Structure 1
């Protein structure tokens, strides 16, 4: 079995497990009257969208660019992140509007029901994380760590449910719900900012554009650097375009050598597409 096929299979399995369990969570959260479970259901809904998008995009990963999408289909991953992030944002706000009032008027969740759901949550998310973590692709590794966060959330529900089975401290449920939701919101906002930077063609955070400008200008034969632009295609791979100016005495046959030196300078910046134009200064 090829690595690409195995990666797709693992991601597909994790997606269906997560989606089915998310549906069970919404039902279980309603039946047990637990905001902690409902807040984690919203979290898992976002995970399901991410996994589904990753599964679909994994199948498109080898598709080359065409007349409609000259850079290929890589930015569709950013579109998926934007959609799932927006769903999570509004879902988390809804959970907070339900959970905060319960701090002042705690309801009585079914602690025993929460316990069984927590055990099921740790088992299903743990199995999905193990399958993805055993894979070799970067996509699988990232998703496995995301699922490990879910496991920690369910461990929290498990501990709270055990405590409430022996102590009548019902306020623990909305407190845990708010903690989980705030954690999700923090990561959602952070990822949405990164995604919007991709769509706005911002300079990637790891790129010091001024430093790159000076490094290129220091190459022998380069007098000026103009229209230097570096942007991200999908949040992982970058692209670059620049115009270089040389003096009239420049040996034109050396332009290939200069371009190669420029590409060597930026090779550590994950630049997969580069356009380098060389012009002779008129004065």
Structure 2
């Protein structure tokens, strides 16, 4: 029957691959600049108040700005069109950004844990009123950044959103500690809350990291209903069976499929294009926009099959 890969129709191989959403780039650029400006304000505030804690957080935010800048660059790179070197395009560079941000978050959370545990054993006095004022400001700034990233689907943006959520929760902990310590002397409260938040963030980092690594290892998308897809595929007139199906995801949103279709004997050649259109239509329903189909006769040996 021959091996038909539809090379004469480019849309069969990259349909839906060039849909660019520039809002993700704008969001990352906005939050990167916002984070840097906040770090500068923290640095000035730390010098004016002679607060080592605020100065330390300013340095932490300068490091975050660098990480966010790298994530922004990788996000922009992921929008490049495919070329001879990257035939599937650059979409996985955004995943690399998510992997990088997850690593930064994990290291940051470990650092917070070590600092919090040390302060639990040796609590330090704090300026409760100053803590409260900076907490309110920190919640507003990081909350604005998180709102820009809310509802993001890409793993890179999810990791960045989680970063700002961590900062918001951290400032909430500072605010709660400040309010309580204005009335009761409990210096251990701030490190205790920080420890709880750090554990929560690490759990979410693990989940995001697991999802990213599954894509890099080419695991089939978890939401793919294989049984339902099979039932719809074998109902196509002229299709006897299929095999050697491979399904993976480029970035968690754009999925790729290849499969071999075994056709009934004595089909007219003109029927083949209709069968392939039906297969692609079914695949579209499952969120798969890039399908490569090989047609086989019933008695044909599949040399390339696994």
Tell me the TM-score normalized by structure 2: 0.75
Aligned pairs for 1:51-130 within 5 A: 51-60=68-77, 62-129=79-146
1:11 aligns with 2:28: yes
Query: Which residues of structure 1 form unaligned runs of 5+?
Result: none
Partner of 1:162: 179
Quick one: structure 1 residues 169 and 89, their matched pair in 2 at CA, closer, same or farther if it must change by over 3 Å? same
- C-alpha distance in structure 1 between counterparts of 2:107 and 2:185, whole Å: 32
Spell out, residue by residue over 1:9-42, the C-alpha distance to the aligned partner (whole angstroms, 9 max, x if none). 44312112224435776996x94558xx96x996
Partner of 2:284: 267
Preserved CA contact (<8 Å) 1:46 1:88 = no
Q: What is the CA-CA distance between 1:44 and the residue it aligns to?
A: 9.5
Partner of 1:205: 222
Q: What is the CA-CA distance between 1:115 and the residue it aligns to?
A: 2.0
Spell out, residue by residue over 1:53-83, the C-alpha distance to the aligned partner (whole angstroms, 9 max, x if none). 5532453454210001111111101111111
Matched residue of 1:242: which SS? strand
| Number of aligned positions between the proteins | 274
Matched residue of 1:250: which SS? coil
Matched residue of 1:166: which SS? coil
Preserved CA contact (<8 Å) 1:42 1:88 = no
Quick one: structure 1 residues 192 and 268, their matched pair in 2 at CA, closer, same or farther if it must change by over 3 Å? same
Quick one: structure 1 residues 269 and 54, their matched pair in 2 at CA, closer, same or farther if it must change by over 3 Å? farther
Preserved CA contact (<8 Å) 2:236 2:275 = yes
- C-alpha distance in structure 2 between counterparts of 1:194 and 1:65, whole Å: 24
Paired residue for 1:231, among 242, 248, 258? 248
Q: What is the CA-CA distance between 1:129 and the residue it aligns to?
A: 4.2
Spell out, residue by residue over 1:160-198, the C-alpha distance to the aligned partner (whole angstroms, 9 max, x if none). 212112210111111111121112101100000000011
- C-alpha distance in structure 2 between counterparts of 1:251 and 1:182, whole Å: 63
Quick one: structure 1 residues 255 and 44, their matched pair in 2 at CA, closer, same or farther if it must change by over 3 Å? farther
Paired residue for 2:201, among 163, 170, 184? 184
Spell out, residue by residue over 1:220-246, the C-alpha distance to the aligned partner (whole angstroms, 9 max, x if none). 211121111111101111111111111
- C-alpha distance in structure 2 between counterparts of 1:149 and 1:93, whole Å: 13
Preserved CA contact (<8 Å) 1:230 1:239 = yes
- C-alpha distance in structure 2 between counterparts of 1:137 and 1:187, whole Å: 15
Partner of 2:267: 250
- C-alpha distance in structure 2 between counterparts of 1:144 and 1:111, whole Å: 29
Tell me the TM-score normalized by structure 1: 0.80
Query: Which residues of structure 2 form unaligned runs of 5+?
Result: 1-19, 301-306
Matched residue of 2:239: which SS? coil
- C-alpha distance in structure 1 between counterparts of 2:76 and 2:266, whole Å: 51
- C-alpha distance in structure 2 between counterparts of 1:145 and 1:85, whole Å: 11
- C-alpha distance in structure 1 between counterparts of 2:60 and 2:285, whole Å: 38
Paired residue for 1:175, among 167, 172, 192? 192
Q: CA RMSD in A?
A: 3.6
